[in-house]
Structure 1
Amino acid sequence: MREREIRENLKRIGLITSAIFIFMIIIPFILMGASIDDFTSPKGTGEANSNEIIVKGNNKVKVFRTNTKKIEEMDVEEYILGVVSSEMPAKFELEALKAQAVAARTFYYSKRENKCNLSKGAEICDGVHCQAYMSKNERMSKWANDEKNDNYNKIKKAVQETSGMVISYGGELVKYPQFFSTSSGKTENSEDVFSNTVPYLKSTSSPGEEISNVYQTEKEISNKEFVNIINSNYKKAALKESDIKSKISIKSRTEGGSVKEIQIGGVTIKGTEFRKLFDLRSANFNIEYLKDKVKIVCKGNGHGVGMSQWGANVMAKEGKKYDEILKHYYSGVDVKKVVYR
């Protein structure tokens, strides 16, 4: 009897030990397996894969129309079609138009987090303060009758074939996808034009843009008007008509070739300020002194930061794809797909 009790007790101890082993060893592995699935499964995690950029909201955009003072709502891709039509000539190469579409789309999504302060409750406005936009009727009215359909279909193709694609840097949406018309052969570092340093907005080569109709422009101003403009804005300049040539000196230039600082009489100002003062095409300029006037010769058109549109077209003509164009003008970036959450 005693021996049977011992055997039964040992049997019970064995069962208890087995149960403890299962609880301590097997169950954690099961739970660990479930936990790993939770982290690796793309479903329900709210995480984007390496080729995606998550944005809040849906595929609708609200645009403030500056002429009508009204807000219009439309699909994002229809909006991008209107931006590309406004910002880049339809005659440009398809891959250049695609690059423009991706840059414009990126700019729009960046405004979702930082809405335009002129848009009266919308996310973005249709002026140069943000990026230009025209409705289909507006853009069709600007094209010759025999070009309307071809131009529209070409731009539509560029938008459709890049649908949802945006520029990213370090896994995040690019906030400043700057673009402009024409460079002087090199683009500018962001810190040389704007107040902040942006790692993907670095000076890079942009050859072949001499074909642009605004590659080089000239502006002549009488000595009297020149002196009046300078002295009315900078009293310490104390500039006189008789000593214009001897009192003006370009002190430094940026990596992209623009005037960084220029000394005029008793003041030294930024090249970007001088550009605004005389409404110049760019800050990459030289001054020629004529008998009774000055001639300012500019190269390039625009602020010079980011993607040059004419440069993009040159690259497209050379066989480069839109993503290659974007990666050339925006240092260290990737092109990814937008996913709504």
Structure 2
Amino acid sequence: MKRNKKHSLQERTRFVTAILFLLIFLPILCTILLSGKESFQLSREREMEQLLATVTYKEIPDEVHMDMVCAQAVLVRSRIWLECEKAENEKEVYNKILGENVEYERSHKINKEKMMRCKEAVDETKGCMLSYGGQVVEGPFCRASNGWTRGGKEVFGKDSYGWLVGVESKKDLDYKSDRRPVVFTEDELYEKITGRSEIENLDAGALKEGFGQLNKEGLLDSFSIITEDSSGYAMEIEIGGIRMSGEAFRQALDLPSASFTFSKEGEEILFTCRGTGHGMGMSQYGAEAMAKEGKDWREILNYYFPNAQIIKKGKTEAADTSVSLFFLTIFENIVYIFFFRQRY
């Protein structure tokens, strides 16, 4: 009888010891395992954050308001995050951008005050990115629109860009850079177009085939704008019997914008452009004007991307803690039930 009691006591002691071991160490193990992915994510975020200041520096003009710099930093972070998400090897993306940053800093005289403001902007917006439907999205930007930014669905013809809508950006009408007409003779126009067959969004093969039929004589008279979008940017143009997108034409001729009017004067054609860049997303000039009026970087982004949200990555620690508490509660109940059954 005593041996049975002693054996029972030993069994109970071993069981309680095992329960206490699990009670103490299993929640810790679960937290480590569940946070492993998060730790990797945070490591990636830290590496990415180190790249942002120089990239932001390259993309903004000098002497701009701090809130405009912060808004730009969020767009840069969103773009690089997406680039890493889509890449097979994230480290290669990091090394590529790092190499570009180092080369830029070597070949340019860096304004220390401007760089410091970029670093402050990165810190101020740490982890913040643009999102739509819970997914990080790339928010495009341009130097200045023609007074109204462009809608993504209209430009790209895809529903997936429906979140990117055009908004009024009145202050851009005051943007005075590149207001002078860009002038080409017939020879210059021909050389520009035929010499730029490998540019963004352009079917080089199809265009090259059409060049054989492109007649330099009468080229100025053959130019026309076929369609424009609702914001007034050329969507499709025709010249010498060849059609191309307005953006491809802008890039071929190095025009400031695809929002332009044209006129022929003698043996020359003149293009008068409104705005600078593709005209989508955040206008830097408009953002700067909003910042000077007292709007902060969140208000700027909410205005130019009204369908998007600003999210902050790297906040799943609470979820990990909840899981640990869940396991802790389970084992507390097990211990309670064991002793309750032993007593009664």
TM-score range, shorter chain: 0.5 to 0.7
Distance in 2 (CA, whole Å) between partners of 1:219 and 1:183 is 18
State the Cα distance separating 1:215 from its structure 2 match: 5.3
Residues 1-341 of structure 1: pairs in structure 2 closer than 5 A: 57-60=41-44, 75-115=47-87, 121-123=92-94, 125-126=96-97, 133=101, 138=106, 141-143=109-111, 148=112, 150-174=113-137, 176-194=138-156, 196-197=158-159, 198-212=161-175, 214=177, 216-227=179-190, 233=208, 234-235=210-211, 238-239=214-215, 241-242=217-218, 244-245=220-221, 247-339=222-314
Distance in 2 (CA, whole Å) between partners of 1:101 and 1:229 is 35
CA contact (8 A) 1:168 1:335 kept: yes
State the Cα distance separating 1:172 from its structure 2 match: 2.1
**TM-score after normalising by structure 1:** 0.67
State the Cα distance separating 1:210 from its structure 2 match: 4.2
CA contact (8 A) 1:262 1:269 kept: yes
Q: Which amino acid aligns with 1:326?
A: L
Q: Which amino acid aligns with 1:255?
A: S
Distance in 2 (CA, whole Å) between partners of 1:93 and 1:310 is 11
**TM-score after normalising by structure 2:** 0.67
Name the CA shift for 1:88/1:238 in 2 (closer, same or farther; >3 Å). Answer: closer
More strand by share: 1
Count residues with an aligned counterpart. 270
Per-residue CA deviations over 1:264-304 (Å, capped at 9, x if unaligned) read 34343321222122222221122221211112222222122
CA contact (8 A) 2:142 2:284 kept: yes
State the Cα distance separating 1:253 from its structure 2 match: 0.9
Distance in 1 (CA, whole Å) between partners of 2:256 and 2:274 is 8
Distance in 1 (CA, whole Å) between partners of 2:228 and 2:81 is 34
Distance in 1 (CA, whole Å) between partners of 2:238 and 2:142 is 27
Name the CA shift for 1:206/1:46 in 2 (closer, same or farther; >3 Å). Answer: farther
Q: Which amino acid aligns with 2:143?
A: S
Distance in 2 (CA, whole Å) between partners of 1:139 and 1:81 is 17
Distance in 2 (CA, whole Å) between partners of 1:210 and 1:254 is 18
Per-residue CA deviations over 1:184-227 (Å, capped at 9, x if unaligned) read 11111224444634122111111212454535353211113324
Q: Give the root-mean-square deviation of aligned CA atoms.
A: 3.5
CA contact (8 A) 1:209 1:310 kept: yes
Name the CA shift for 1:45/1:311 in 2 (closer, same or farther; >3 Å). Answer: farther
CA contact (8 A) 1:86 1:139 kept: no
Q: Which amino acid aligns with 1:188?
A: R
SS of the residue aligned with 1:335?
strand
Per-residue CA deviations over 1:27-66 (Å, capped at 9, x if unaligned) read xxxxxxxxxxxxxxxx89979xxxxxx89623447xxxxx
SS of the residue aligned with 2:270?
strand
User: Which segment drifts farther, 282-291 or 152-161?
Assistant: 152-161
CA contact (8 A) 1:110 1:173 kept: yes
Distance in 2 (CA, whole Å) between partners of 1:152 and 1:220 is 37
SS of the residue aligned with 1:300?
coil
SS of the residue aligned with 1:141?
coil
Per-residue CA deviations over 1:58-107 (Å, capped at 9, x if unaligned) read 3447xxxxxxxxxxxx7332211111111112411111111011111111
Q: Which amino acid aligns with 1:98?
A: C
SS of the residue aligned with 1:58?
helix
Unaligned runs of 5+ in 1: 1-42, 48-53, 62-73
State the Cα distance separating 1:138 from its structure 2 match: 4.8
Distance in 2 (CA, whole Å) between partners of 1:126 and 1:212 is 31
Identity of aligned residues (%): 28
Name the CA shift for 1:319/1:156 in 2 (closer, same or farther; >3 Å). Answer: same
Name the CA shift for 1:106/1:217 in 2 (closer, same or farther; >3 Å). Answer: farther
Q: Which amino acid aligns with 2:284?
A: Q
State the Cα distance separating 1:338 from its structure 2 match: 0.9
Q: Which amino acid aligns with 2:277?
A: G
